Amino acid sequence: MAPSLRLGSTAPDFEAETTAGPIKFHEWIGDSWAILFSHPDDFTPVCTTELGEVARRSEDFKKRGVKVIGLSANGLESHNKWVKDINEYGAQFGPTDVQYPIIADESRKVATLYDMLDEQDATNVDKKGLPLTIRTVFVIDPKKTIRLTISYPASTGRNFDEILRVIDSLQITDKHRIATPVNWKKGDDVIIHASVGPEEAKTLFPQHTTFKPYLRTTPLPSQ
Ligand code: BEZ
């Protein structure tokens, strides 16, 4: 059995067919961040809403240097037909044009590699009875390290504001010796990392406030 993927694991590399042509995953990521996300099945309602939202948020991903790629155990022909429905339905919420690649993982090679298959829910299967993919999200950094994993139930569409919020936190905490508090969003005060001593804190974060020796907040340092 493949070892389970954890935060800090290297995202496994693979080759796959996608709606944007064949890819080698690591090469496709290049120097960007990446979101690999799976949906259970094409032509299903919740998935139709999710993939449209991801298309509408393309500028939000781009400005953070994030590439997005979808995946399900459906074939290319199915994906390509379904994309037309996604765009048509999504238009009521704003211009919707799915340009990001969707992996056609009929063999379930990638889904197995990333442990995305739903082995528990006997109803989450295709016509042949083979398991479909869970709504999974992997956020991968430019070093190809897995930085976030989330699994959602089939009945619940994902919140891409939250995924973007975590990416904002990861990108800022990679740059500075800080952490981000509950419900943090870009522009809010941040927390000084425990490794920063009191004297160092005065220099690095002159505007900080000490609530407790272990809980010090500060405006976000300028870049
Ligand atoms: C949906 O996208 O609506 C869906 C897909 C698979 C199982 C349940 C719901």
Give per-residue pLDDT as tens, 141-179: 999 999 999 999 999 999 999 999 999 999 999 999 999
Rounded Cα gap, residues 219 and 36, in angstroms = 32
- Domain 15-158, what fold? Glutaredoxin (3.40.30)
Question: 14: CA distance to ligand 1 center in Å?
Answer: 26
pLDDT at 123: 84
| Higher-confidence position of 134 and 125 | 134
> What's the token pair of residue 214?
């272990």
pLDDT computed for residue 19 by the predictor:
98
Tell me phi and psi for residue 195, to 5 degrees. Answer: -75, -10
Which one from 46, 47, 68, 164 is the annotated catalytic residue?
A: 47
Pocket test of ligand 1: the residue of 38, 39, 41 to mutate, having most ligand atoms within 8 Å of its CB, is: 41
State pLDDT tens for residues 182-222: 999 999 999 999 999 999 999 999 999 999 999 999 998 77
> Per-domain residue ranges for the chain?
15-158, 176-218
Is position 78 annotated as part of the catalytic site? Answer: no
**Residues lining ligand 1, judged by CB closer than 6 Å?**
40-41, 44-47, 124, 154-155
Q: Which amino acid is at 170?
A: L
**HSE, side-chain direction, 13 A CA sphere, residue 211:** 7
- Global pTM? 0.96
Ligand 1 atom having least distance to the Cα of 132: 6
Which token pair is 169? 């936190």
Lowest mean pLDDT among 2-6, 12-16, 36-40: 2-6
Q: What's the average model confidence in pLDDT over 16-39? A: 98
What was the pLDDT predicted at 223?
Answer: 55
Residue range 37-57: mean pLDDT, rounded: 98
Average pLDDT, the chain: 96
Unique residue bearing structure tokens 């740059």: 175
What do you get for the CA distance between the two ends of the chain, in Å?
Answer: 44
User: Is the model's pLDDT at 53 over the cut of 90?
Assistant: yes
Which numbered atom of ligand 1 lies nearest the CA of 47? 2
C-alpha 126 to ligand 1 mean position (Å): 12
Which residue's alpha carbon is at the smallest distance from atom 2 of ligand 1?
46
Q: Please tell me the distance from the alpha carbon of residue 2 to that of residue 175, in angstroms, as a whole number.
A: 33
The pLDDT assigned to 120 comes to: 87
Question: Architecture of domain 176-218 in CATH?
Answer: 2-Layer Sandwich (3.30)
42 Cα to the center of ligand 1, angstroms: 9
Mean pLDDT of 90-108: 98
Alpha-carbon separation of residue 191 from 146, 181, 201, 220 (angstroms): 23, 7, 11, 9
